[in-house]
Amino acid sequence: GAGVSQSPRYKVAKRGQDVALRCDPISGHVSLFWYQQALGQGPEFLTYFQNEAQLDKSGLPSDRFFAERPEGSVSTLKIQRTQQEDSAVYLCASSRSPPGERPGELFFGEGSRLTVL
Amino acid sequence: DAKTTQPTSMDCAEGRAANLPCNHSTISGNEYVYWYRQIHSQGPQYIIHGLKNNETNEMASLIITEDRKSSTLILPHATLRDTAVYYCIVRVRNSGYALNFGKGTSLLVTP
């Protein structure tokens, strides 16, 4: 596709349930980011992949959060034993080159809205 | 990364220029200024970035003061579709991977 695609767009989970959120970045983009956006707040960084390597996971809030990008393309963000405070929009972004090579733009998907009941 | 300060909200009449300010008084010499916007229910969208010179593209102009302690994003002819939250972000080119969005400025363009 032409842009970053995320699925599902909406997910309702019961507390304690595991969820998986998928991101299809723009084809050929080296860098992939996950952000979390709570209601009324700006996006907050979770983790970064360069190809299949997870180079930064400093923003993951707990060990219940896990992300992977095994073949350097599609990425999955998994949240285990969901809690109400996990309710947020999860945004995926990709860019053509690694951050250090040029101050390039990020292309964001529309996000996956997770509601934990 | 340097901290930025933006007004919480602004209004602009349709067809007029929207001037969105951003203070970044602690900016260092190798930090870039980026602007993104987020329309309701969408992901953020890149607008423009600059280091020290003024920049213009098809979406907006970025004016950076000579001392680089503040900047202004200019939408020359605002439309209703420009209603969005605008984020000013300052970061070092090779500083890592996270963009700190902050809370941004909520711009309302009115008919």
Residue A37 CA from chain centroid, whole number: 10
Predicted confidence (pLDDT) at residue A100 exceeds the cutoff of 60: no
Cis peptide preceding A8, ω within 30 of 0 = yes
How would residue B31 be classed by pLDDT, with cut points 50, 70 and 90? confident
B26 touches chain A (CB under 8 A): no
How would residue A105 be classed by pLDDT, with cut points 50, 70 and 90? confident
Count of CB atoms within 10 A of residue A3's CB?
14
- Please tell me the predicted confidence (pLDDT) of residue A104: 62
Q: Give dist(CA B7, CA B27) in Å, integer.
A: 18
Q: Are B58 and B41 in contact (CB under 8 A)?
A: no
User: How far off is chain A from B35, nearest CA to CA, in Å?
Assistant: 10
Predicted confidence (pLDDT) at residue B64 exceeds the cutoff of 90: yes
Q: What is the mean pLDDT of chain A?
A: 92
SS3 B80: helix
Averaged pLDDT, B93-101: 71
* C-beta atoms of A45 and B41 within 8 A: no
- Please tell me the predicted confidence (pLDDT) of residue A97: 73
Averaged pLDDT, A92-103: 73
- Contacts across the A-B interface (CB distance below 8 Å): 60
Q: Give dist(CA A111, CA B55) in Å, integer.
A: 29
Q: Which residues contact A113 (CB under 8 A, 6 or more apart)?
A: A9, A10, A11, A88, A89
Per-residue pLDDT tens over the stretch A24-81: 999 999 999 999 999 989 999 999 999 999 999 999 999 999 999 999 999 999 999 9
B-chain CB neighbours of A55 within 8 Å are: 97
Q: Looking at A59-100, which runs of residues are DSSP E strands?
A: 65-68, 75-79, 88-95
Q: Is B15 left (phi over 0), alpha (psi -120 to 50) or beta?
A: left
Tell me which residue in A56, A58, A103 faces B32 most closely, judged by beta carbons. Answer: A103
**For a pLDDT cut of 90, what percent of chain A falls above it?**
83
Question: What are the backbone dihedrals phi and psi of residue B19, each rounded to the nearest 5 degrees, phi first?
Answer: -115, 110
Predicted confidence (pLDDT) at residue B3 exceeds the cutoff of 90: no
Averaged pLDDT, B54-75: 96
